[in-house]
A and B are shown apart, each in its own frame.
Chain A
Amino acid sequence: MLRIQGLSKKFNKGTENEIEVFNNFNLDIEENKCTAIIGPNGCGKSTLLNILAGSISADSGRIILNREDISNLSQEKRSKYIGRVYQDPSMGVSPSLTILENMSLADKKGDRFSLKRLIRKNNIDRYVEMLKSLGLGLENKLNTKVKYLSGGQRQSLSLIMAAMKHPDLLLLDEHTAALDPKTSHVVMEKTKELLDKYKITTIMISHNMKDAIKYSDRIIMLNKGKIVLDKLSKDTTEEELIDIYKAKLFEEIA
């Protein structure tokens, strides 16, 4: 289980550009479930994931993952427990390396890196199996540099690379937003298959209401760093979410 306790974060503290994103924010995320976080631009979704991953630090608050307080661990230390896929398909891979090289690196995640050879022949079959399960034909392109792959192929690879060591927590930040609708659908389906198979606690940010409902177990809507809706996905409809968006928008104008 992931527990976020008393989280506060301000950007540009003490300047006239000060922005308060979170003020004593609390959230519990169930184990092995996929929780979707939705909400308008700038409401703090990415900031939350950045704080969880340790790429930015919170002003105060605790993050407890599987009973261990990881609040004070560096980003590198946390990466042992956390996998992440970004909106930009290039962020999760090393573009000038091949698929095989990328997967071999991801396979060492959290381990010590030594002067042994990275590529081990006896791992290749396992990688091929994983790639095959994507159904994108990537298993035939092991020696292709990742920069020559399409965005969707790269994002699917990022997904496997983030999940292959079975992290305790998987963070997906609009990971299909840069893809066309068809590819986006493929990657979402692959995400679901992977999560069903590996059972990973997942937080998924999305601006696509349909996807958020369809592919998650629980929906949380944020607005200005506060939870304004928290519901099981199966009890939530797209119309409902859009109505809340509209109402919030109305509040702001009025």
Chain B
Amino acid sequence: MNSLIITSIEQGLIFAILAMGILITNKILNIADLSVEGTFPFGAFIFAKFISMGVDPVLSTLLAFVIGTLAGLMTSLLFIKLKIKPLLAGILTMTTLYSVNLRINGKSNIPLFNFDSIFDLVPILLLLAILVIAIKIILDEFFKTEVGYLLIATGDNETLVKSLGASSNKYKIIGLMLSNGLIALSGALMAQYQGFVDITMGTGVIVIGLASIIIGDTIKKNSTKLGNTTRAIIGAIIYKIIGGIAIDLGLAPSDLKAVSAIIVILFIAYNNVAIDLFASIKNKGEGVYVKNTRLIKKVQ
């Protein structure tokens, strides 16, 4: 049981990075980026490529992040320059990445046991905790900068961003690149953690990310102390612990994808009903403008 908890926390921390990536697109920019399921294995395959070429594991992991940002660049250019709907743009990137991933190493499954990993250097849990906290702090600081605030405002009200003399498209590109970089990094870490890379490892990860964010939003709903990134991290860990318990109770690991979908459905349904009730009460008082386009409602 104890090792189950530790494993869940370790995996939760890896997915926390994914969740923070998804947070930037889905929640802050208000763009549903579906390329995630291609970007996650993309990061893993990039890592496998470099490590098998003899590159140092730390650098290989870093390169997964850097090259991963290109997936975000592709999606954003598809919808900004070619005016393809963001949803479709993400799907097109994901589909393209499927072929790209298979090309990178010419194989769909690569064992990594013979190679070094960043986990050889420092205990897994410690390393992951440091990494996740560092990313959280960097993101939190970034969202306090002028550029960071414009990114938030882009998701909120593009008209305002333009009226400030800034290009909202630029901030969408920055956000999508950052998001996809983090997701690829998460994939590279997962590859090292499980000891192999597989083409199917991205299946369902978008739902895991969304589930993490939604669970995170539900903890101490009204507390303003808990920031978005902290919520995503806690959400990912809780999600993995729920999954660990489910397996312990006898569910097959393959059942977990359905479990995560059910978690998302339940939480969104709960939030929607709660928010609609709230809005209808407030609307009686004054003309409150309620944006109903969010994939995940901002719950504060």
Taking CB atoms, residues of chain B closer than 8 Å to A110 are 164-165
Q: Give the residues from 69 to 126 in chain A that come closer than 8 angstroms, CB to CB, to chain B.
A: 75-77, 79-80, 83-84, 86, 88-97, 101, 104-106, 108-111, 113-119
Q: State whether the Cβ of B108 lies closer than 8 Å to any Cβ in chain A.
A: no
Q: Give the residues from 142 to 183 in chain B that come closer than 8 angstroms, CB to CB, to chain A.
A: 142, 144-150, 152-153, 156-157, 159-160, 162-167
Q: Give the residues from 107 to 160 in chain A that come closer than 8 angstroms, CB to CB, to chain B.
A: 108-111, 113-119, 145, 150-151
Taking CB atoms, residues of chain A closer than 8 Å to B165 are 76-77, 79-80, 109-111
Nearest A-chain residue to B168, judged by Cβ: A76
A76 touches B289 (CB 8 A): no
B289 touches A113 (CB 8 A): no
A95 touches B157 (CB 8 A): yes
Q: Which of A95, A105, A117 contacts B164 (CB 8 A)?
A: A105
CB distance from B272 to the nearest CB of A (A): 17
Taking CB atoms, residues of chain A closer than 8 Å to B167 are 76
Taking CB atoms, residues of chain B closer than 8 Å to A105 are 149-150, 153, 160, 164
CB distance from B285 to the nearest CB of A (A): 8
Nearest A-chain residue to B163, judged by Cβ: A79
Q: Which of A96, A111, A114 contacts B147 (CB 8 A)?
A: A114
CB distance from A29 to the nearest CB of B (A): 20
CB distance from A169 to the nearest CB of B (A): 13
A97 touches B156 (CB 8 A): yes
A92 touches B160 (CB 8 A): yes
Q: Which of A96, A108, A119 contacts B156 (CB 8 A)?
A: A96
Taking CB atoms, residues of chain A closer than 8 Å to B148 are 118
Nearest A-chain residue to B171, judged by Cβ: A113
A115 touches B156 (CB 8 A): no
Q: State whether the Cβ of B293 lies closer than 8 Å to any Cβ in chain A.
A: no
A151 touches B287 (CB 8 A): yes
Q: State whether the Cβ of A178 lies closer than 8 Å to any Cβ in chain B.
A: yes
A116 to B144, CA, bound (A): 8
Max chain A C-beta neighbours (<10 A), residue from B148, B165, B286:
B165
Taking CB atoms, residues of chain A closer than 8 Å to B150 are 105, 113
A89 touches B289 (CB 8 A): yes
Taking CB atoms, residues of chain B closer than 8 Å to A145 are 300
B157 touches A91 (CB 8 A): yes
Q: Give the residues from 131 to 150 in chain B that come closer than 8 angstroms, CB to CB, to chain A.
A: 142, 144-150
A82 to B256, CA, bound (A): 54
Interface size on B, residues (CB 8 A): 27
CB distance from B74 to the nearest CB of A (A): 24
Q: Which of A80, A88, A104, A108 contacts B289 (CB 8 A)?
A: A88
Q: State whether the Cβ of B298 lies closer than 8 Å to any Cβ in chain A.
A: yes
B164 touches A91 (CB 8 A): no
Query: What does DSSP make chain A's interface, helix, strand, loop or mixed?
Result: loop
Q: Which of B145, B159, B166, B289 contacts A115 (CB 8 A)?
A: B145
B144 touches A109 (CB 8 A): no
Taking CB atoms, residues of chain B closer than 8 Å to A115 are 142, 145-147
B287 touches A117 (CB 8 A): no
A103 to B152, CA, bound (A): 14
Nearest A-chain residue to B159, judged by Cβ: A91
Nearest B-chain residue to A104, judged by Cβ: B149
Max chain B C-beta neighbours (<10 A), residue from A97, A104, A106, A113:
A113
B164 touches A109 (CB 8 A): yes
A109 touches B286 (CB 8 A): no
Taking CB atoms, residues of chain B closer than 8 Å to A89 are 289
Taking CB atoms, residues of chain B closer than 8 Å to A88 are 289
B162 touches A75 (CB 8 A): yes
Nearest B-chain residue to A115, judged by Cβ: B145
A94 touches B157 (CB 8 A): yes
Nearest B-chain residue to A75, judged by Cβ: B162
A113 touches B300 (CB 8 A): no
B145 touches A117 (CB 8 A): yes
A178 to B163, CA, bound (A): 21
B166 touches A113 (CB 8 A): yes
Q: Which of B144, B157, B291, B300 contacts A117 (CB 8 A)?
A: B144
Given A105-B153, A110-B165, A150-B286, residue A91 in contact with residue B146 (CB < 8 A): no
A119 touches B163 (CB 8 A): no
B160 touches A94 (CB 8 A): yes
Q: Which of A118, A150, A162 contacts B144 (CB 8 A)?
A: A118
Max chain A C-beta neighbours (<10 A), residue from B145, B291, B300:
B145
A80 to B148, CA, bound (A): 21
Could you show 12 A-B contacts with beta carbons less than 8 Å apart?
A75-B162, A76-B166, A83-B163, A90-B157, A92-B160, A94-B157, A96-B156, A97-B152, A97-B156, A104-B149, A113-B146, A162-B163
Q: Could you list which residues of chain A lie within 8 angstroms of chain B, going by C-beta atoms?
A: 55, 75-77, 79-80, 83-84, 86, 88-97, 101, 104-106, 108-111, 113-119, 145, 150-151, 162, 178
11 more A-B residue pairs beyond the given contacts A93-B157, A115-B146, A116-B146, with a C-beta to C-beta distance below 8 A:
A76-B167, A84-B163, A89-B289, A91-B160, A92-B163, A94-B156, A105-B150, A110-B165, A116-B145, A118-B149, A145-B300
